[in-house]
Structure 1
């Protein structure tokens, strides 16, 4: 813990943990106020671990500004990488435009720039001029879609219950292994997957016993939106989706980049926020048409 003076006012700088009850309660309150959700259930389920590090400024015992460091181990084009994703970027309304976010960003970059292959974040349109000040550049993402020409319905699929401890354990176990289907896949960060599965994807988690695979997907009109697939074997995605779709589903939309893209239409991603990146892997990603898995966003 240290104290920092910003524009004549003293703030407490802290790298918070879920185990610090006072910090967690205040951090959750600002998160709820800013984004409309909090991390309490995630913490109570045991998923807030050392991979999630809020860098916060406090006025007394109240969190007033924050940027969270998410330590992300990825498999990228067959190679192991350590990326740092910045998220939960927020400042209480009464403390905005005072330089608090800048101080936190400088702290994070100083701490992490030489300990990872990439620092990155997704930003909304209101702050696009902020991150280039720290050396971040923008990257494009690309999404794969295709029309489903035939339906070969076969086998049973089980919808998992995310309030059930055993079902959660099954998803956690599968999500800890890199997806065999994806060019870019998280490794050993199942806690983030569980954040989504226990918050707003509770009705979207399926298990296919024949392939020992977990699929997270939504159905929107005539489209299946595939958020992620977790299986150890190299199985054709279309074979697994046959278990989920019927003749009413005409289109497949992926929120990750598959290893095999020949059968897909690839277009730039729109409406997912602007991706900013800093670090040696920036060029690698710029030279490949990719998409960070949607369920890896923080």
Structure 2
């Protein structure tokens, strides 16, 4: 059944798109290559965080005013990301309305929203919407004592970042061969909040 479904999807969509990708867990790593999908390496980006200054305000997605603020910032996209996902606010809300509900912050000085959580001395910044200064956003979102931040996206051009390959069989990226594949020649990271 799964094989027929994949064949049908490829038949319907292969000529109607520039590229096709999917995420696979360890149970199907050998399945998707049968259909021309190639596993690609993603990279985790880390950078030092300047002294944490605070100043970010936690948003409540249950508040209509805060939700409108999140939506307005989302429409500006992530100016720091090498890959952009657009017009998918519903998927963002899947994350921000459930298990990341307490991880949405507004940074007024940057007019930006960061979706981030603190893990000891590490700020896990899953995404940013709006703003103009990445380091300032991280500094204002981070708790005191934060040493570094991991990014849930590939930065468009921060030389302060360190990139390490991710080896995760539970969330492996596959891209259809013969189509556009930005991962084949660049060290990228598909934005964390837009995995399905």
What TM-score, normalized by structure 2, do the two folds share? 0.92
**Could you give the per-residue CA deviations for residues 177-230 of structure 1, whole angstroms, max 9, x where no partner exists?**
331111101112111111110011100000111211010001111100000000
- Indicate if the aligned counterparts of 2:114 and 2:129 stay in contact, CA closer than 8 A: yes
For residues 31 and 51 of structure 2, what CA distance do their matches in structure 1 show? 48
More strand, by proportion: 1
Structure-2 change in CA distance of 1:121 and 1:210 (3 Å): same
User: Residue 61 of structure 2: SS of its match in structure 1?
Assistant: coil
Q: Which residue of 2 aligns with 1:241?
A: 138
- Indicate if the aligned counterparts of 2:112 and 2:129 stay in contact, CA closer than 8 A: yes
User: Residue 71 of structure 2: SS of its match in structure 1?
Assistant: helix
Q: Is 1:132 matched with 2:30?
A: no
For residues 200 and 251 of structure 1, what CA distance do their matches in structure 2 show? 23
Q: Which residue of 2 aligns with 1:220?
A: 119
For residues 230 and 224 of structure 1, what CA distance do their matches in structure 2 show? 16
**Could you give the per-residue CA deviations for residues 219-268 of structure 1, whole angstroms, max 9, x where no partner exists?**
1111000000000x5x2211112212243111211110111231111100
- Alpha-carbon shift at residue 173 of structure 1 (Å): 2.6
- Alpha-carbon shift at residue 152 of structure 1 (Å): 5.5
**Could you give the per-residue CA deviations for residues 260-295 of structure 1, whole angstroms, max 9, x where no partner exists?**
23111110013352111115212x321000000000
- Indicate if the aligned counterparts of 2:42 and 2:165 stay in contact, CA closer than 8 A: yes
User: Residue 185 of structure 1: SS of its match in structure 2?
Assistant: coil
Q: Which residue of 2 aligns with 1:151?
A: 51
Q: Which residue of 2 aligns with 1:198?
A: 97
Q: Which residue of 1 aligns with 2:19?
A: 118
- For the aligned residue pairs, the C-alpha RMSD in angstroms reads 1.6
For residues 189 and 290 of structure 1, what CA distance do their matches in structure 2 show? 20
Correspondent of 1:261 among 154, 158, 164: 158
- Indicate if the aligned counterparts of 2:82 and 2:154 stay in contact, CA closer than 8 A: yes
**Could you give the per-residue CA deviations for residues 85-141 of structure 1, whole angstroms, max 9, x where no partner exists?**
xxxxxxxxxxxxxxx111111111111111111111111111111101111111110
For residues 294 and 182 of structure 1, what CA distance do their matches in structure 2 show? 11
User: Residue 141 of structure 2: SS of its match in structure 1?
Assistant: coil
What TM-score, normalized by structure 1, do the two folds share? 0.62
Structure 2: unaligned runs, 5 residues or longer = none
Correspondent of 1:168 among 32, 57, 67: 67
User: Residue 201 of structure 1: SS of its match in structure 2?
Assistant: coil
Bigger relative contact order, structure 1 or 2, given CA contacts below 8 A and separation 6+? 2
For residues 144 and 64 of structure 2, what CA distance do their matches in structure 1 show? 33
For residues 112 and 57 of structure 2, what CA distance do their matches in structure 1 show? 11
**Paired residues, number:** 194
Q: Which residue of 2 aligns with 1:57?
A: none
